[in-house]
A and B are shown apart, each in its own frame.
Chain A
Amino acid sequence: MEVLNNLAFGFGHALTPENLLYCAIGCVVGTLVGLLPGLGPLATISLLLPLTYSIPTGGALIMLAGIYYGAQYGDSVSAITMKIPHASSIVACIDGYQMTLKGKTGLALFTAGVSSFIGGTVAIVVLASLAPTLGTIALKFGPTDYCALMLFGFFCVSFVTTGSLLNGMAMCLLGVLLGQVGTDLETGLERFTMGLPSLVDGVSLVSLALGCFGIAEITKNLDAKEERTPFNGKIKLMPTWPEFKRIIPSALRGSVVGSFLGILPGGGPTIAQFAAYGLDKKVSKYKDEIGSGAIEGVAGQAAADEAAARTSFIPLMSIGIPENAVMALMMAAFIIKGIQPGPNMIAKHPDLFWGLVASMWIGNCFLLLLNVPLVRFWLSVFKIPYNVLFPSILFFCCIGTFSINNSLHDIYTTAAFGLIGYIMMRLSLDPAPLMLGFILGPMLEEYFRRSMLLSRGSFLTFFEHPISATLLSILGLFIAWQIYATLKGRRTTLAPADPHAASG
């Protein structure tokens, strides 16, 4: 009952005309960005961060959250109609695009829209009931536990998002190092600033994000020289009743999987989609059709996608540790607004927390209303050629950087990170873990120093506290398993080569 009470309180905050407007703007901008190539949710959130300085806190957070889940939805539209996923909708390309080839684009889009709605709704129930409980547990966390939790998060994100533990960890560590640039909070000493006054306050988050995700991405698209063919097919949106009945069970399964995977460190929409798709392939009544354009292949993953996008707010708002790069940026937005996400947030700012939760459901309705009937309009966005789009995105990157300090010179920093981001991309290094490391870096250092101070310099303290000991043991097992798997993999690839070499 208390949850309902709290939700009613939240709706009271989210349903003000102002907040409704911010939510609508967030959803529209998010969908647009999800559709367009060259700007992911990360770049957009960082681009719009400076704009939110002048907006009241509640509205700003509602808008940023809207951008995030709106972008998830927009991404699936471009994946279904043209088989181009930008950020995360790799799974939607499989059955969604098959349905387009069969002339069932409308049905696929409707399925994705309705399933996203179901997924989002289930996730909000999970969020509303779980986050406050988790928050009370998080109050028991000490500095060692936070350190272990962050390291655990780094490992999970590295493994999940990049697929290569080595590359992902390297980027996390690089991010932590970049987070060290600037004035040391305890001693006031300037570190790694190379004498540049612009680095005394540290590397600007917006410059880093726009460089690595905006400028580097634009250059990559220019290098590819691909011309996209806009979608011109017919769209018949409304499904028949038997088709509609097939959506529901699959969407519910996807919602549960997505809600669960969204909470885990390193989790989030991408892995949730794969898991939901895999589950449908095993248990669905129509499992034989999946892969060749089945409704279930779209419904389950779309629901999981939206569910995970929302439940990934749980660790951020209850423990204070973001679990992926987008959440790390959201955390930066919270901090800019003077709010420290963590166990005390819900108690201290109930209006913000419950308002945000309620706004997510309103955003859900917006997305459904805006996108399912208006999908034709959205698809016309694709008719803008990239040659027109990219100078505009470059300009917005410049304006976004400029608006933080009203300083043109900050654009040099953004350009420098664009170059570094491009080099990293050519070296197959994914910048998403870098972002997470960058934002968590200063926190990691603070908690590390604090735990060392409390233990008088003994590393054993990490194994004396049950939570950190458990997390670190899991990590240890994980690394051992990785090394074993690599060595075993090498032996099996070498083994067939050996007899051949002996005979030759």
Chain B
Amino acid sequence: MPNQQIARGVFLAAVALFFAVNALRYPIGTLAHAGPGLFPLLICAPLLIIALATIVQARLADPEPLQFSPRNIALIMASLIGFVIASEYVNVTVGIIVLVFVAGFAANSYSWVRNLKIAIGLIVVAFIFQRFLGLNLRLL
């Protein structure tokens, strides 16, 4: 298990460096006439310092393990992407079925009947949204 605090420092440093490297590609200008790159660069500097301080602090403190279980987040992501693809190529009704049945794997127990009931309920809700709130959903 990687150390949570070190992982946090590395994550923050990576974000700071990403923005800093990109900001350098834009005109910096002077302080009096700031270009588009100046302000992001000024923000990246303290962020990078915080990231480094976090890493240093982590070396001194007791390590905390990083708890990360990829299964549930992967299932949720898959269900969302499935919803978009199914809604785009078929229709939102199929999208809802895909969403509910894929996300259902992340639940404590898996039940076809329950998923079917949820999906029917949500299709009804989507119908109400389309009819009464004027939402542009392609249900059929």
Contact = CB atoms under 8 A, between A and B. Distances in A.
B94 interface: no
Interface string B51-63: 1011001001000
A177 B32 contact: no
Given A173-B46, A411-B80, A428 B4 contact: yes
A399 B11 contact: no
B36 A184 contact: yes
A166 B54 contact: yes
B84 interface: yes
A388 interface: yes
A502 interface: no
Given A223-B69, A398-B83, A415-B80, A170 B99 contact: no
Contacts of A192: 19, 22, 40
A174 interface: yes
Contact of A415 (B51, B81, B133): B81
A448 B87 CA distance: 44
Interface residues of B, number: 71
Contacts of A56: none
A223 B72 CA distance: 7
A170 B81 contact: no
A169 B50 contact: yes
Interface in B73-102: 73, 76-77, 79-81, 83-84, 87-88, 96, 99-100
Interface stretch (A87-95, A284-292, A416-424): A416-424
Most buried by A among B12, B26, B117: B12
Interface string B21-60: 0110011001111111101101110110011011001001
Contacts of B53: 166
Contact of A177 (B19, B83, B108): B19
Contacts of B43: 173, 176-177, 180
B43 to A, nearest CB: 5
A412 B88 CA distance: 13
A411 B115 CA distance: 22
Interface string A458-482: 1100000000000000000000000
A403 B135 contact: yes
A218 to B, nearest CB: 7
Contacts of A376: none
Contact of B76 (A167, A189, A219, A402): A219
B100 A429 contact: no
B39 A448 contact: yes
A110 interface: no
A427 B4 contact: yes
The secondary-structure label for the interface of chain A is helix
Given A184-B36, A225-B108, A406-B136, A170 B126 contact: no
Contacts of B40: 177, 180, 191-192
A372 B68 CA distance: 41
B47 A391 contact: no
Classify chain A's interface size: 35 or more
Nearest to B119: A391
A456 B34 CA distance: 10
A399 B126 contact: yes
A54 B133 CA distance: 9
Nearest to B57: A166
A387 B107 contact: yes
Contacts of B57: 166
A475 B119 CA distance: 53
A309 interface: no
A177 B17 CA distance: 12
B102 to A, nearest CB: 9
A176 B60 CA distance: 29
Interface in A133-188: 166-167, 169-170, 173-174, 176-177, 180, 184, 186-187
Contacts of A395: 83, 96, 99-100, 122, 125-126
A371 interface: no
Contact of A215 (B12, B35, B76, B108): B76
Most buried by A among B15, B27, B31, B76: B76
9 contacts: A170-B12, A177-B47, A391-B104, A415-B77, A426-B66, A427-B11, A456-B32, A457-B32, A490-B60
Interface of B: 4, 7-8, 11-12, 15, 19, 22-23, 26-27, 30-37, 39-40, 42-44, 46-47, 50-51, 53-54, 57, 60, 66-69, 72-73, 76-77, 79-81, 83-84, 87-88, 96, 99-100, 103-104, 106-109, 111, 114-115, 117-118, 121-122, 125-126, 129, 133-137
Given A219-B72, A414-B80, A448-B42, 5 more contacts: A191-B23, A222-B106, A391-B118, A426-B67, A452-B34
Interface of A: 51, 54, 166-167, 169-170, 173-174, 176-177, 180, 184, 186-187, 189, 191-192, 215, 218-219, 222-223, 225, 227, 386-388, 390-392, 394-395, 398-399, 402-403, 406, 408-409, 411-412, 414-415, 418-419, 422-424, 426-429, 445, 448-449, 452-453, 455-459, 490
